[in-house]
Amino acid sequence: MTDRTQAFDRLTDDYRRFRPGYPEAVTERLREHVLAGDRAIRSEPRLLLDVGSGTGISTRTLRHLFGPGPRVVGVEPGHAMRGTAAENADGVEYVDGRAEAIPFPDGSATLVLAAQAVHWFDRPAFYAEAARLLAPGGTVAVLNNDRDWTASDFVDAYEGLMERYGDDYRRDYRVYDTIGEMNARDGLVDAVEYSAGWVRDLDPDRLIGTAMSSSRMAAVVRAIGEERTREAIADLAREHFPDGNVRIPYVTRLFLARRA
């Protein structure tokens, strides 16, 4: 795989079926921030962009959050991911584009969101694009679901499996100074973070489906084979959850900044 934008194409079906959404407490905070800053059209936002939209989980969330009024567009370079999202468009649009060159005019957007995707981007270039795209008072947002390995022996062992066999995988690979990076970008101000913990309950089959939707777990598959990878995950689940009810603690982190 030489084009990282197509990294999920082989994982698209599992991604669509098994990836979790985001807790309501966090998405409501996103909604409040966007509505509070919309100076250009006070009644409702106008253009909401979801960058690195994948199969549209977060894009459809925006439509649900903001209702039928604003234009909601997912920006996704992955061919299969974008095609899968378009099959269940649910009142949103999808376009081909990269985070560093988003095909919309200056000052046209109320929200530029990166959900579960910013670690794939050239982040300084993405924040520069967000500043270009946003109208005054608009919101740039970074949203991540992260497994909480500090709260679960199972998650600690699961992360250890990927660190052992993955391609230089580190469990903290999504830990950046996001607040500092946002505040450092000309045109963006008042960066803040909001987080919420929650627990996802899965049966063993859905656990394995979720694992196999990950490009990071795909590196483990390349190293030790799919059958061995599935067996290793199933063994961890049986060891830690003999009743078959897998409980995975998450922390969802939302970073927000305002267009000056």
The pair of three-digit structure tokens given for residue 110, joined into one six-digit string = 């109320």
For 179, residues 6+ apart whose C-beta sits below 8 A from its C-beta are: 191, 192, 193, 255
Q: Would 141 be classed as within a structural domain? A: yes
Q: Would 124 be classed as within a structural domain? A: yes
Q: Would 95 be classed as within a structural domain? A: yes
Q: Would 112 be classed as within a structural domain? A: yes
**Helix (H) and strand (E) counts for the chain?**
10, 7
**C-beta separation of 104 from 47 below 8 A:** yes
pTM over 0.85: yes
**pLDDT tens readout for residues 96-152:** 999 999 999 999 999 999 999 999 999 999 999 999 999 999 999 999 999 999 999
CA-CA distance, 27 to 252, in Å (whole number)?
A: 10
CA-CA distance, 38 to 42, in Å (whole number)?
A: 6
The dihedrals phi and psi of 21, each to the nearest 5 degrees, come to -85, -155
For 162, residues 6+ apart whose C-beta sits below 8 A from its C-beta are: 169, 171, 216, 217, 219, 220
**C-beta separation of 10 from 82 below 8 A:** no
Query: Coil, strand, or helix at residue 207?
Result: helix
Task: Say how many domains are in the chain.
Answer: 1
Residue 92 in this model has a pLDDT that exceeds 60 = yes
Q: Would 188 be classed as within a structural domain? A: yes
Which CATH number do you get for residue 83?
A: 3.40.50.150
**pLDDT tens readout for residues 145-172:** 999 999 999 999 999 999 999 999 999 9
Q: Would 217 be classed as within a structural domain? A: no
Q: Would 131 be classed as within a structural domain? A: yes
Q: Would 104 be classed as within a structural domain? A: yes
Residue 7 in this model has a pLDDT that exceeds 80 = no
Q: What is the pLDDT of residue 55?
A: 92
The residue segments making up the domain with residue 56 are: 4-145+172-199+250-259
Nearest by Cα to 187 from 142, 137, 143:
137
Average pLDDT over residues 18-40: 89
